[in-house]
Chains A and B, each alone.
Chain A
Amino acid sequence: MASSGWELAVNESGVLKGHEGAVLAVRFNGDGNYCLTCGKDRTLRLWNPHRGIHIKTYKSHAREVRDVHVTTDNAKLVSCGGDRQLFYWDVSSGRVIRKFRGHDSEVNSVKFNEYNAVVVSAGYDRSVRAFDCRSQSTEPIQIIDTFQDSVMSVHLTKTEIIAGCVDGTVRTFDIRMGRELVDQLGHPVNCISLSNDANCVLASCLDSTLRLLDRSTGELLQEYKGHKCKSYKMDCCLTNTDAHVVSGSEDGFIYFWDLVDASIVSSFRAHSSVVTSVSYHPKDVCMLTSSVDGTIKVWRK
């Protein structure tokens, strides 16, 4: 484990500036060559973080953009935010292909499925909705509304929809089995993140604790504490090797925990304000962080 310290992306290698106002989310694309950011300035931006180039700006949202996801073929984007619609974009032209309506309130999180055919979104209206990208219909094909509170984060695997909710649950909807697994954590779940092997789910709870659950059993594997996460939607993730757990903090710090023994491996001040999002490169030791201060930072080892 000692060697893992070397593999942490703790050195700032670049700053992406362009967003006016808070940056709410930063996401690597599927292969990690590009990244997408979105923010309070109602825009989406496509960057090449490795070169520090701003490639494109996507404007159409009328309110803040809270989450964005890109298809595996990098052809389409989906974004969501305060205007209760999902925007389905064409990456190269920058035009909105479709707007998926249905959410009754702000949409917190959105993801494509593996085949880029379905968009699943999680909203403040206590529901998770799935939209069909292949049909012309803008109505949801599935509404999951067993949540008791705002759904903060959603992730998809090949067969499951996993969503974290403020009602303190992480719910896994297994499409293949037709089962809903509810893991009660007892604290509002802010963000969920899957390990790269998809066996574990990391849930960031509002009691300033990250909880690592075994997905198959629902067993609590580890708790990670030390950072501050009480009221903001903040992202957490695992490193590319699944060796560490990363999370931002409301005080602008970034924390690295050892996955197994939950010790803080590293913590440093990354931003002047709340770190809203962290995204780890799928393969390389590279991390992106975004903050309320309007900057996106690129971290390498």
Chain B
Amino acid sequence: MADVDEEDYVYFGTPIEREEEISSRKRKAIAEPGTLRSLPPWKQEVTDEEGRRRFHGAFTGGYSAGYYNTVGSKEGWTPQTFTSSRKNRAEVKKQNIYSFLDEDDLKDIGGNTLETSMQYDTFGFTAAEFARKKAEEEQKKRPSAIPGPAPDEIVLPASSSIGMRLLMKMGWRQGHSIKDSNAESLSEIRREARKAFMALSSNKAEPDISEKDADGTDEFPDMSIDVLRNSENTPVYVLNPKQDMYGLGYDPFKHAPEFRDSKRLRESKSRETKRSKVHMGSLLSSNSKKYAPGFGIGALEELDAEDEDIYASGFDYEQTEVELEPSKAVSSSSGDRMLQLEHKKRGSLLGFKLASDSDYKLERFYPPAIPSNFRPIHKFGAPLDQTLKNYNSVPPPDAPPPENTNLRLLIEGSAAMVARCGKSIEDLYMEKSKTNPLFLFLKSGAEGYDYYVRKLWENKQKFVDNLKPAEKLTAENRGRILGERPLASTTSRVNDVSVKAREVINTQSSHGDTVTKPISLADLPDSAIKQFKHDPAKQERFELFLKEKYQGGLRASGTRSSTSTSTMSEADRARERLDFEAAAEAIEKGKQTIQISAPSTDHTKDLLGFGEDRFVSSTLIENSETKLEETNVVYPKREQFEWRPSPILCKRFDLIDPYMGKPPPVPRPRSKMDSLIFLPEIFKSSNKEDAKSPIGNSLEASKSGLKEAEAEPSASEADVAPTSPKNVERPVDLYKAIFSDDSDDDEADAGPALNQALNPVKSSEGANKTLNRLVAGDFLESLGKELGLEVPPGSIPGPSLNTNTVSLPEEQKSCKGGDDRDNTPFPKVKETKSKDYGSTVDSSREKKRSHSKHHRRRSRTPDLDPDSGSDSDSHRRHRSRSKKRHDRRDRSRSRDSESSDEAYMNRKERRKKHHSRHHEHKKKDYGDKYSDKKRRS
């Protein structure tokens, strides 16, 4: 049916529903504020002016509040405070109230401007401000005599505050209390009421009334007064004057208000009754009563009996209740205090009590009782003196070693032990011998006893010998050991004599460069002495030398010993002396072998090492051999080494680099460790050099290091048959590496600044090396012994340390020969040297004092060199500077031609010409040629 109905209607135009829809939202938005406000707050919605919802739930897009649903603004986060005022000064913003209002607020305001209203100006501040502004404006209009802004005091608010106005409306008048009028009115009302009541009631009520009236007056006692004082203004705030001497804000009756009352009571009483009473001081009069609890005693202080009567004398106290209070407190607290004090005394904490009995007790241990016969001085079983005495005693006769090798070794070993450790060991062995048949030799008469005694003596001797130098290692001795030349002053005879005399008196020191054993020459075979038969003069000197050496006990310092040598040169003399020393050495050794080591065989040496002199090396014999060899060396000797010229040097010499294309040289050992790494090579080289030239040994020692480091086996080296490695040689470099000063290869690295300091060291280097070798030999020997190795024969402990000096290489001697000169014979040379200005020869010995000398020399030179010519020179230099450039070119051109005086002049002329030519040149075509010229020059 509906279909039919619909068919019946014909529609024209467009329906207007849509418009409705559009407007609906707006309508809703307009309608909503009213409806929404009625809703509870959680159902209300915030919308903007178009009715859009401002805040969405988290699921519908979150919080949307600011600029395009951001919390930001159009400007974003750019700070508004900063705007460049340089470009747009006009736009400098000032904040006013509108900058805090948004559109909605502004709409609400409408066209009205915001102003502060005077209506609610409670305290009149706004009015005051207003008035001041007005005054300022006025002042601007008509300038007054007083320049500047009007002072605040002058400008007073024209209008009163709202509160005042309200009060005035309520009937309050200025100068009247607010309360009064109120009370008045109240009382008035009451009075009215009372009157009415009285009118109603009869007369019987009269006394009541009167009573009440009286009551009334009683009720409002102030009111009547107030009525009287109506004209007075109410004091705004009454401060109670501080009349006590408590601290500010301290209320003594804070927790006891009842006492306050009693106090007030007393005060009023005293005011009445004892007003006339004279107190001790008018100043303290008011305070005197409450003195006790307050004055002089801080609140935190404990009350004490003493505190109480500090001020007691001279003060007239009234016994009041107040005063009882502190006294009470004192009495009560004093008990506590007593307790406290007690606690304090015992050092325990408050509330803790010391235990009456504790488990802990200090234990004391008493020293052991010393037996009455104890003497507090220790006595050593076998004092050293004794051994010394033994040593001094007559040596036991030689004894042949027992056939049994084991026994012999045992004997030797134990002898050495006994010699070292003293009698106690022997006693120990004795005890052992009771059980062990091995030690039977200790008993006199047993097999091997004689041998043991002999060995013991020998060892002791050695041991004592060893001790001696250690005891008195004076500077001189040390110097001698180190192979230094004694200084002139110390070798003065007197000194020597005194030293030597002492030594001789004490014991014979085997350490005898100066003191020697009294070996009689008679004992020596003739052949031994007559070593220089071929040269009678020399033989004579040698005999004299021996005589001085062995019979005199003292030996004159070398060169002076024989007058006949005065004609000889220094070096010759030194060399000869070496010869003599060596020969004497050999003789002595020969004797020794007869005396001492005759019974001993090779094996004995294994155990011999105990008491050997520290500085006597096993290489002694070798040294002496080499010494003898040295003397026979014929100069000149030629040696060949590899040497690498630098490629640039070859180039400059116009030669082909002989090492071109060959592997670069092994870098020199920079550190000591490197040299240790190359040890085998070094040791081989030193061997080689030994074989070649024993003299060069120490000289080349340092060199060999670097030589071999860059070694390629060359022809000459190949020629050298590899000698059997000598143990002794190895540690030379080892020791050098460890102990010696910087050697040559390091020297090059050292800066120039260092060099000065190193110079003095250099000269003694050779000596050091030799010494090191000796020490090293000794060291190795002992090491070998410890390791149970066999030490090469010839390690007999020679008595003479003088070999040290002897074994110094020949070169050193000769270089150092000057030292002898220093001593006596040639002082003149030195004198002249220092006087003259000729350059002296820089021999090694000179280096020692090169510093001082150079200094002297240098300091002298300025006197000798007047700078008279310097001025002219500088002038010349200035002049020549301009010429120089041209000269250079000239020179290169004229390299081949000139060879005469005229040539020099020629050159000068030509230079002039050249010069002028240049000028012309420049003038002609400056622009083109200038750059060309520049390039050329």
Interface residues of chain A, those whose CB is within 8 Å of chain B, are 20-22, 24, 31, 33, 40-43, 48, 51, 55, 57, 59, 63-64, 66, 73-75, 82, 84, 90, 92-95, 103-106, 108, 113-115, 117-118, 124-127, 130, 132, 134, 141-146, 148-150, 152, 158-159, 166-168, 170, 173-188, 190, 206-208, 211, 213, 217-220, 230-233, 273-274, 276, 291-292
Chain B residues numbered 631-670 whose CB sits less than 8 Å from any CB in chain A = 633, 635-646, 648-650, 652-656, 658-659
Q: A90-B887, A167-B699 are in contact. Are A127 and B640 (CB under 8 A)?
A: no
Residue contact B643 to A144, C-beta cutoff 8 Å? yes
Cβ-based interface call for B836 (8 A): yes
Report chain B residues within 8 Å CB of A211: 636
Residue contact B814 to A186, C-beta cutoff 8 Å? yes
Tell me, rounded to whole Å, the shortest Cβ–Cβ distance linking B633 to chain A: 8
Tell me, rounded to whole Å, the shortest Cβ–Cβ distance linking A145 to chain B: 5
Report chain B residues within 8 Å CB of A93: 880-881, 883-884, 887
Closest CB pairs A-B (n = 5):
A218-B638, A178-B658, A180-B643, A104-B755, A150-B842
Q: A21-B837, A75-B891, A207-B569 are in contact. Are A177 and B658 (CB under 8 A)?
A: yes
Tell me, rounded to whole Å, the shortest Cβ–Cβ distance linking B756 to chain A: 8
User: Which of A117, A168, A233, A273 makes the CB contact (< 8 A) with B811?
Assistant: A168
Residue contact B649 to A141, C-beta cutoff 8 Å? yes
Residue contact B762 to A232, C-beta cutoff 8 Å? no
Cβ-based interface call for B571 (8 A): yes
Report chain A residues within 8 Å CB of B654: 115
Cβ-based interface call for B898 (8 A): yes
Residue contact B653 to A175, C-beta cutoff 8 Å? yes
Interface size class of B (residues with CB under 8 A): 35 or more
A/B interface sample: 15 pairs, CB < 8 A: A73-B896, A74-B899, A90-B884, A103-B752, A113-B652, A141-B649, A143-B748, A148-B703, A152-B841, A152-B842, A166-B843, A182-B638, A184-B695, A233-B839, A233-B842
Cβ-based interface call for B907 (8 A): yes
Residue contact B652 to A117, C-beta cutoff 8 Å? yes
Report chain A residues within 8 Å CB of B643: 144, 146, 173-174, 178-180
Expressed in whole angstroms, the Cα–Cα distance for A104 and B748 within the complex equals 9
Report chain B residues within 8 Å CB of A178: 642-645, 658-659
User: Which of B766, B847, B864 makes the CB contact (< 8 A) with A40?
Assistant: B864
Q: A57-B873, A179-B640, A207-B571 are in contact. Are A63 and B748 (CB under 8 A)?
A: no
Expressed in whole angstroms, the Cα–Cα distance for A158 and B654 within the complex equals 9
Report chain B residues within 8 Å CB of A124: 842
Report chain A residues within 8 Å CB of B648: 132, 141-142
Residue contact B884 to A206, C-beta cutoff 8 Å? no
Residue contact A142 to B646, C-beta cutoff 8 Å? yes
Report chain B residues within 8 Å CB of A206: 841, 843
User: Which of A33, A55, A125, A158 makes the CB contact (< 8 A) with B899?
Assistant: A33
Most buried by A among B649, B847, B876: B649
Q: Given A57-B873, A142-B646, A152-B842, 14 other A-B contacts at CB below 8 A?
A: A21-B865, A74-B898, A93-B880, A105-B756, A125-B747, A142-B648, A168-B814, A176-B655, A178-B642, A179-B642, A184-B638, A188-B815, A232-B838, A233-B841
Expressed in whole angstroms, the Cα–Cα distance for A78 and B907 within the complex equals 21
User: Which of A90, A168, A183, A291 makes the CB contact (< 8 A) with B638?
Assistant: A183
Expressed in whole angstroms, the Cα–Cα distance for A55 and B901 within the complex equals 10
User: Which of B636, B653, B887, B895 makes the CB contact (< 8 A) with A183?
Assistant: B636
Residue contact B815 to A149, C-beta cutoff 8 Å? yes
Q: A149-B844, A158-B653 are in contact. Are A217 and B810 (CB under 8 A)?
A: no
Report chain A residues within 8 Å CB of B873: 57, 59
Residue contact A134 to B887, C-beta cutoff 8 Å? no
Chain B residues numbered 747-804 whose CB sits less than 8 Å from any CB in chain A = 747-748, 750-752, 755-756, 759, 762, 766
Report chain B residues within 8 Å CB of A146: 641, 643, 703, 706-707, 744
Report chain A residues within 8 Å CB of B656: 176
Expressed in whole angstroms, the Cα–Cα distance for A96 and B896 within the complex equals 23
Q: A73-B895, A105-B755, A188-B814 are in contact. Are A90 and B652 (CB under 8 A)?
A: no
Expressed in whole angstroms, the Cα–Cα distance for A292 and B639 within the complex equals 37
Report chain A residues within 8 Å CB of B747: 125-126, 145
Report chain A residues within 8 Å CB of B844: 148-150, 166-167, 188
Report chain B residues within 8 Å CB of A167: 699, 811, 815, 844
Cβ-based interface call for B314 (8 A): no
Q: A90-B887, A206-B843 are in contact. Are A175 and B645 (CB under 8 A)?
A: yes
SS class, residues of chain A in contact with chain B: loop
Residue contact A115 to B653, C-beta cutoff 8 Å? yes
Residue contact A188 to B838, C-beta cutoff 8 Å? no
Residue contact A232 to B645, C-beta cutoff 8 Å? no
Residue contact A115 to B642, C-beta cutoff 8 Å? no
| Residue on B nearest A120 in the bound complex, by CB | B649
Report chain B residues within 8 Å CB of A177: 658
Most buried by A among B653, B866, B904: B653
Residue contact B840 to A231, C-beta cutoff 8 Å? yes
Q: A94-B880, A115-B652, A167-B811 are in contact. Are A186 and B836 (CB under 8 A)?
A: no
Residue contact B839 to A149, C-beta cutoff 8 Å? no
Cβ-based interface call for B877 (8 A): yes
Q: A178-B644, A232-B839 are in contact. Are A40 and B637 (CB under 8 A)?
A: no
Expressed in whole angstroms, the Cα–Cα distance for A256 and B873 within the complex equals 39
Expressed in whole angstroms, the Cα–Cα distance for A134 and B651 within the complex equals 11
Q: A145-B747, A178-B658 are in contact. Are A276 and B653 (CB under 8 A)?
A: no
Cβ-based interface call for B888 (8 A): yes
Residue contact B839 to A276, C-beta cutoff 8 Å? yes
| Residue on B nearest A156 in the bound complex, by CB | B653
Q: A142-B646, A181-B638, A186-B635 are in contact. Are A22 and B755 (CB under 8 A)?
A: no
Residue contact B658 to A142, C-beta cutoff 8 Å? no
| Residue on B nearest A103 in the bound complex, by CB | B752
Cβ-based interface call for B563 (8 A): no
Cβ-based interface call for B869 (8 A): yes
Report chain A residues within 8 Å CB of B744: 126, 145-146, 148
Residue contact B636 to A188, C-beta cutoff 8 Å? no
Expressed in whole angstroms, the Cα–Cα distance for A274 and B635 within the complex equals 28
User: Which of B639, B810, B818 makes the CB contact (< 8 A) with A186?
Assistant: B810
Residue contact A63 to B645, C-beta cutoff 8 Å? no
Report chain B residues within 8 Å CB of A117: 652-653
Chain B residues numbered 369-425 whose CB sits less than 8 Å from any CB in chain A = none
User: Which of A90, A94, A166 makes the CB contact (< 8 A) with B815?
Assistant: A166
Expressed in whole angstroms, the Cα–Cα distance for A166 and B68 within the complex equals 101
Residue contact A187 to B866, C-beta cutoff 8 Å? no
Cβ-based interface call for B693 (8 A): yes
User: Which of B636, B756, B818, B836 makes the CB contact (< 8 A) with A184?
Assistant: B636
Residue contact A22 to B645, C-beta cutoff 8 Å? no
Tell me, rounded to whole Å, the shortest Cβ–Cβ distance linking A190 to chain B: 6
Tell me, rounded to whole Å, the shortest Cβ–Cβ distance linking B554 to chain A: 30
Residue contact B884 to A95, C-beta cutoff 8 Å? yes
Residue contact B839 to A64, C-beta cutoff 8 Å? yes
B730-758 CB mask vs A (1 if < 8 Å, else 0) is 00000000000000110110111001100
User: Which of B644, B703, B841 makes the CB contact (< 8 A) with A190?
Assistant: B841
User: Which of A42, A134, A181, A231 makes the CB contact (< 8 A) with B861?
Assistant: A42
Residue contact B836 to A273, C-beta cutoff 8 Å? yes
Residue contact A40 to B635, C-beta cutoff 8 Å? no
Report chain A residues within 8 Å CB of B649: 118, 130, 141-142, 175
Tell me, rounded to whole Å, the shortest Cβ–Cβ distance linking A32 to chain B: 10
Expressed in whole angstroms, the Cα–Cα distance for A40 and B839 within the complex equals 9
Residue contact B645 to A173, C-beta cutoff 8 Å? yes
Cβ-based interface call for B489 (8 A): no
Residue contact B895 to A95, C-beta cutoff 8 Å? no
Cβ-based interface call for B36 (8 A): no
Tell me, rounded to whole Å, the shortest Cβ–Cβ distance linking B903 to chain A: 9
Residue contact A127 to B693, C-beta cutoff 8 Å? no
Residue contact B833 to A231, C-beta cutoff 8 Å? yes
Cβ-based interface call for B276 (8 A): no
Report chain A residues within 8 Å CB of B895: 73, 75
Residue contact A142 to B840, C-beta cutoff 8 Å? no
Expressed in whole angstroms, the Cα–Cα distance for A178 and B695 within the complex equals 25
